[in-house]
Structure 1
Amino acid sequence: MANMAPEKSSLKQLKKAPVGPFMDDRAIPYRPGQYITLLNDLTRSKGFLLAESGLQMVERWNRVAPVGLPVSRTLVIGTLAADLISSYQTLQQRARWFPWLVEPEDWELQHKFGAERLVDMATSLGGALIKAGQFASTRPDLLPPVYIEQLSTLQDQVPPLPWSLIKARLVQELGQPLDRVFSKVDQTPVASASLSQVHRAWLKDGRPVALKVQYPQIQELIKADLEMLKLVNQAVGLFSAEKLLSSISDYLKETLLFEIDLEHEAEMMGIMREALSNRKDVLIPRTYPEFSSKRLLVMDFIEGIKITNKPGLEAANLNLSEVTRILVEVYADQVFHHHLLHGDPHPGNLLVQPGPRLVILDHGLTVRVKPALAEAMARVVRALEANDFTELGRALEMAGLKMRAGADIFTLLQAVSLIFGGTGNIKVTTQLGAKIDKVPVDLLVLGRTLGILNGITLQLDPQQSALATVTHYI
């Protein structure tokens, strides 16, 4: 009889095998893109058993329920979390008991597999996970470089829902048939993101409006995702992951609960429009509260040229330097004079009309800025412009950034890069995790916004210093 015993793996094979929670004497791929590897005696842990039973449960559930349902989403998220925890525990145990088997490239491989699985899950499930991944990609102080690179690819764009579902939601929110309110509704969306999609329509009097329609069940899904992140945060204590998950959870609670309340968005649009009403170079869409609700926002449909479309701006004879100046001044006016902030200034939300006049869309992240934070950020800007690093340290502390003792100039500059949403030298910035105790959510939102604006100004007019413009304005 032939010897049926499995062939022993060589040391080289053992070292190069990808690490995962499901171990066997051979490397075999299993769904969804994960791996069974070696050293099964190191995996008899609670994390392994949880991941195994979780995957089996998900497989059974997914045969009868769509992955979008809260219970199924929770199972998928929890299972992946257990999978990753067990994977890292396995590699840690291997490094502890067999240190000659573990090299830096083994950690890199583990990070690569983990990052790919997170991106796959966020892309598949959408909702809060897209937002969480995007935020995590701005924290190179807490995540390995490969995670930053992979998560940076996440885009808040998803395939639109069928018109039949959107129409049903519109009728439900309006409380009457569409033809009683609109003369026409375009069934093809002009935009679709992780929380809602936008359709163009025309009121009975001919005025064009935009209909921002929240997806069915999205509020329930968001709340379930936040609860799951909270539970995962309590379970994870590896590396700086606990700190990262706490940061993500805080950020999402501060921002998503605003974004899923379209009545709040309409209110903030009105406040922003009133605050900037003395300016002729900015336009905020008008809302129609009589047709709006928590899940539907009806507002003016405004057209313009995307702010990063340089050929389009030049073809319209718009001065790029003037557009850049207006952009910086309008946001400086918001923050430092009115203590408000449009916190999502990606290029798709910023249009330019002849004048030039800046159009600001999507106010789901328009928030109030605490006066103390606005003053602290003004001091940060002045200190950077003056190269005054002593004042910079004081201003960062005033803004709520808790640095540990002994922070040098290089650390301060890396902290500023982090706050303003830049990755800089990612490998260097990851060292910040040991030097920063906490970065407040409101400081990150403000800094990220200013960082995005700085990137846009560099595209439009590299010769113009946004820092100098803000310093002069404040």
Structure 2
Amino acid sequence: MTIFSFRRVATLCVLTAGTGLAFQASNSNSNSLDVEEKFRTTIHGFRRSSRAISTISLIVLDYKYSLYGVVANSEEYRLKLSEVHLRSAKRLLKLCQVNKGFYVKAGQFAASLRQTPNEYSSILSSLQDQAVPCPFKDIKDVIISNLGSDISTMFLSLDEQPIAAASIAQVHRAILKSNQEVAIKVQYPGLMQHVKIDTTVMSFLSRTISWLFPDYRFEWLASEFEKTILLELDFLQEARNAERTAENFKNNNLVKIPRVYWEFTTRQVLTMEFCEGHKVDDIEFMKQSGIDPSKVAKALVEVFAEMVFVHGFLHGDPHPGNILVSLDNLNGFTLVLLDHGIYKQLDEEFRLHYCQLWKAMITLDTNKILQLGEWFGVPKYSKYFPLIFTGRSFDSTSALGMGMSYEERRNLKQELKLLKMEDISSFMESLPSDFLAVLRTDGLLRSITRKLGVPQRLRILTYAKFALHGSSPKLNPATDPIVKVAYFRLKTSLSYLHLRLFLVGAEALSSFQKFMNFTCSLCRRYYHAMKSMHRCFHSRRYLRLLAFGRTYNTCFST
């Protein structure tokens, strides 16, 4: 590492520490905290910032030193890069575990992104179940200060032991005076102050890392996370999201959104209907209850496909803890959607273009994919869209959902070797924020359906079906003419049927080509085997004649 780089790293440490302290000082005039609390928050924030600075600086130095002088894209480079990824992921995991709160949420966010290296996602995914509950006394104070009444005047009972604890809040079971069983989500005290500090430090760190290493640009990641965390801290917004989603799925008997109790809901306290259930990836529970996991997966994919392609209003954190499977006498099961804090309102133009992209990827309409890549701002990388979403290369001849042939994988591997970190950073930075949200949700959904043992083909075909539905004009059966509604529904159904027939034809052609290739290969092997046997036969015959001739000559010569 050059002296200039060392100076840059030193500057990073000093300036970031100064940023954390300056931010604390700028918040010291707040009337909401007493002097002692301000002092504690300042010291605590400085410690958290210092840990973040030292950890990130160590990671930066590790990357710089370990990869210095190694030929890029070589086998040695890839091995060393993987080793540094693993060491860095473990350091970040420790940082998240010690700093807690915002850092745990940031680690979960990074682990959920499909573009995150496997070493990071596998290590940081353990943060999903590592939240430590806050003492009930502190939680009780938050409830009283927000709802303005004593616990006994609002609830018949309130369990002191939380039923769930996450990175920003924990949930307690309670019974209202009306005998309604509810779940109360309570934000951790002082969290908003810490988040303001931590987001400032993270933003500064991401900009400085980009300055140190121009190929590693992560400002987009910090910016996206800052937007989501600030929205998630507003429980009133979460309540509105829940009610809007309930309205969107009011005609779907397989989906349940817990009811919001507005009189017991504020920015820091959310009271909702209590719903029994098990995590959506609890296969053992499903087997014991006689529920088919594939049906659960199908219903889950349909719900999120409808969110993306039809409503354009997307739940941004669908990990297994936020989706429950509840027993239902009518349908067998019901999906209960929890935690509506992170939602993405997709731009209408983006939604329509995304529907078109899926139709193009299913039929491998390369011209349309390239055209849409221009619109999404990534013309150079649009050929990778089919690979990202459907597992097929841009010019694949394989059947949908069946992966790629050996030759296709080999060619793609050679092509991907030429990509640099700069290309990945450029790709992610150029994508619209809506695309990033869809990518993240799709990645989380894939991991769940994979665990439930559902083939990729089901997810792809479901997406295609709802992409066609989302491309049609939005009509309201209650207000629009019945004939018009029926016409567009029929048109959508016929379009989907046409698409399925196209896929059947393409798959039949692919199977026929594979059969012909296999037959030709078998014939070639048979031909070469017979040719070899023929040569061998003639060779042996020649040797026998030669031996006979020698014997004959010997006999007559004597």
TM-score band by shorter chain is 0.7 to 0.9
1:69 is paired with a residue of what secondary structure? helix
Tell me the distance in 2 between the aligned counterparts of 1:223 and 1:296.
Answer: 19
Pick one of 402, 405, 408 that aligns with 2:378: 402
Pick one of 43, 47, 52 that aligns with 1:77: 52
Match of 2:237 in 1: 264
In structure 2, runs of 5+ residues without a counterpart are 21-38, 71-75, 392-408, 470-558
AA in 1 matched with 2:423: A
AA in 2 matched with 1:70: G
Map Cα deviations across residues 75-117 of structure 1 (whole Å, 9 max, x no partner). Answer: 322333344445555667x749xxxxxx746666555443332
* 2:215/2:421 contact within 8 Å kept: no
1:228 is paired with a residue of what secondary structure? helix
Distance 1:107 1:378, change over 3 A: closer
Report the RMSD for the aligned CA atoms in angstroms. Answer: 3.6
Shift of residue 342, structure 1, vs aligned partner = 1.4
Distance 1:241 1:220, change over 3 A: farther
Map Cα deviations across residues 15-70 of structure 1 (whole Å, 9 max, x no partner). Answer: xxxx9xxxxxxxxxxxxxxxxxxx9x999635348759999xx9xxxxx9689832
2:244 is the counterpart of 1:252:
no
AA in 1 matched with 2:320: P
Match of 2:483 in 1: none
Q: How does 1:171-210 map to 2 (within 5 A)?
A: 171-210=144-183
Tell me the distance in 1 between the aligned counterparts of 2:57 and 2:369.
Answer: 41
Pick one of 362, 366, 370 that aligns with 1:389: 366
Q: How does 1:143-154 map to 2 (within 5 A)?
A: 146-154=119-127
Tell me the distance in 2 between the aligned counterparts of 1:176 and 1:412.
Answer: 54
Moved more, 369-378 or 165-174: 369-378
Pick one of 310, 318, 321 that aligns with 1:337: 310
Match of 1:169 in 2: 142
2:439 is the counterpart of 1:447:
yes
Distance 1:126 1:178, change over 3 A: same
2:192 is paired with a residue of what secondary structure? helix
Tell me the distance in 1 between the aligned counterparts of 2:123 and 2:295.
Answer: 36
Tell me the distance in 2 between the aligned counterparts of 1:394 and 1:68.
Answer: 53
TM-score (norm 1): 0.76
Match of 2:340 in 1: 363
Map Cα deviations across residues 119-166 of structure 1 (whole Å, 9 max, x no partner). Answer: 21122112232233333345675x766445433443363111111111
Tell me the distance in 2 between the aligned counterparts of 1:129 and 1:382.
Answer: 39
Shift of residue 177, structure 1, vs aligned partner = 0.8
Pick one of 347, 351, 354 that aligns with 2:324: 351
Shift of residue 417, structure 1, vs aligned partner = 7.6
Match of 2:193 in 1: 220
Moved more, 64-73 or 435-444: 64-73
Distance 1:432 1:386, change over 3 A: farther
2:9 is the counterpart of 1:47:
yes
In structure 1, runs of 5+ residues without a counterpart are 1-18, 20-38, 59-63, 97-102, 419-423
Distance 1:186 1:393, change over 3 A: farther
Distance 1:43 1:340, change over 3 A: closer
Match of 1:115 in 2: 89
* 2:93/2:123 contact within 8 Å kept: yes
Q: How does 1:86-101 map to 2 (within 5 A)?
A: 86-88=61-63, 95=69
TM-score (norm 2): 0.65
1:229 is paired with a residue of what secondary structure? helix
* 2:255/2:336 contact within 8 Å kept: yes
Shift of residue 288, structure 1, vs aligned partner = 0.9
Tell me the distance in 2 between the aligned counterparts of 1:455 and 1:91.
Answer: 32
Pick one of 352, 357, 365 that aligns with 1:375: 352
Tell me the distance in 2 between the aligned counterparts of 1:432 and 1:393.
Answer: 22
Distance 1:306 1:111, change over 3 A: closer
Counting matched residue pairs gives 412
2:293 is the counterpart of 1:293:
no
- The structure that has the greater radius of gyration is 2
Distance 1:285 1:113, change over 3 A: same
Shift of residue 215, structure 1, vs aligned partner = 0.5
Tell me the distance in 2 between the aligned counterparts of 1:145 and 1:363.
Answer: 27
* 1:68/1:125 contact within 8 Å kept: no
Structure with more of its chain in helix, by fraction: 2
Pick one of 454, 464, 468 that aligns with 1:462: 454
Tell me the distance in 2 between the aligned counterparts of 1:136 and 1:193.
Answer: 16
Distance 1:403 1:136, change over 3 A: farther
Distance 1:90 1:460, change over 3 A: closer
Shift of residue 357, structure 1, vs aligned partner = 2.1
Moved more, 72-81 or 440-449: 72-81
